[in-house]
Amino acid sequence: MKALLLCAGYGTRLYPLTINTPKALLKVQGKTLLELLIDNLQEIDAIDEIVIISNDRFYKNFCDFKPQIASTKKITILNDGTTSNDNRRGAIGDIKFALDKIKYHGEIMVLAGDNWFDFKLKDLYNFYLKNNKNDVVFGEHKTDINVLRAGGVANLDEYGRVLFMEEKPLQPKGTFAVGPFYIYNAQTVKMLDAYLRAGGNPDAPGHFPAYLSQKKPVYAYDIAPKHYIDIGTKQAYDNIESTIQNLNGNLTR
């Protein structure tokens, strides 16, 4: 299995913090978000390579930081060639770009590089195995409609299978907020070309599992009572330390 880390955003909502620094290299409690992700991935023996997908603007930042990354797994850094929000590939476009670049079309774990969380990715992987290697998303039930409008929202059956999912709905039809981490089996990876050729949205990563849920089994891992925080704005980043303290969370190492 390969882990694909989506780090090609430009972080404009976090300016001035991200004018010269990619979001994944911002620090939380003394470590970068990228290091926290990679620390967590170390526990999954099936993952043999971690692929960091950057844009042209921040590619050198990641290359310069690479010697500081403590990992037993191969680390590959890719430049998707984009230079601004105007010509970006989008998250799903970057997944396709990375898979073609490394010439791999097997199982993948896809993770956004701008989130803090306190659950173990190994638990997400074990949930994938438990569900016979059917595709997996993760999330938690939310009541705040603004939170639900900001990301993917799913309806689940009693076994955790996704019955319906939509990305950033104005009128959410469910309460299960889906986070930006996914596990896709090899069959699903082969479906990515057809999705894009048919005009599937290449941007927000939640569009693809929404599409998949209508064609094949997709299961949702409920992280409760653990937490994740999307560090999408400067206010969210400024408040991250106090938010973690309020959650009584400990960084997963």
pLDDT in tens, 9-55: 998 888 998 999 999 999 998 899 999 999 999 999 999 999 999 99
| Stretches in the chain below the pLDDT threshold 50 | 249-253
CB burial readout 14-38, b (16+ within 10 A) else e: beeebeebbbbbbebeeebbbbbbb
Looking from the CA of 109 toward its CB, the CA atoms found within 13 Å total 28
Quote the pLDDT of residue 248: 59
SS3 200: coil
pLDDT at 246: 78
Residue-level pLDDT at 229: 87
Q: Which CATH architecture has domain 2-141+180-247?
A: Alpha-Beta Complex (3.90)
CA–CA dist 96, 86 (Å, integer): 19
Res 250: pLDDT: 47
Q: Specify the 3-state DSSP secondary structure of 2.
A: strand
pLDDT 10s digits, 76-93: 999 999 998 889 899 999
Q: Give the pLDDT score at 18.
A: 92
- Strands of the chain, DSSP E: 2-6, 27-28, 31-32, 49-54, 74-79, 108-112, 115-117, 135-141, 152-156, 162-167, 176-184, 218-222, 228-230
CB 117 within 8 A of CB 230: no
Residue 111: what are its φ and ψ, rounded to 5°? Answer: -135, 135
Q: How far apart are CA 1 and CA 17, in angstroms?
A: 33
Q: Please tell me the chain's helix, strand, coil percentages from 3-state DSSP, rounded to the nearest 5.
A: 35, 25, 40
Q: Give the per-residue pLDDT at 147.
A: 87
Strands 176-184, 162-167: pairing kind: unpaired
Q: Which pLDDT score is estimated for 252?
A: 42
Q: How many CA atoms lie within 13 A of 164 on its CB side?
A: 6
pTM reported for the whole predicted model: 0.93
Tell me which residue has tokens 């099936």: 46
| Domains in the chain: boundaries | 2-141+180-247
Residue 31 Rama label (left phi>0; alpha psi -120 to 50; beta): beta
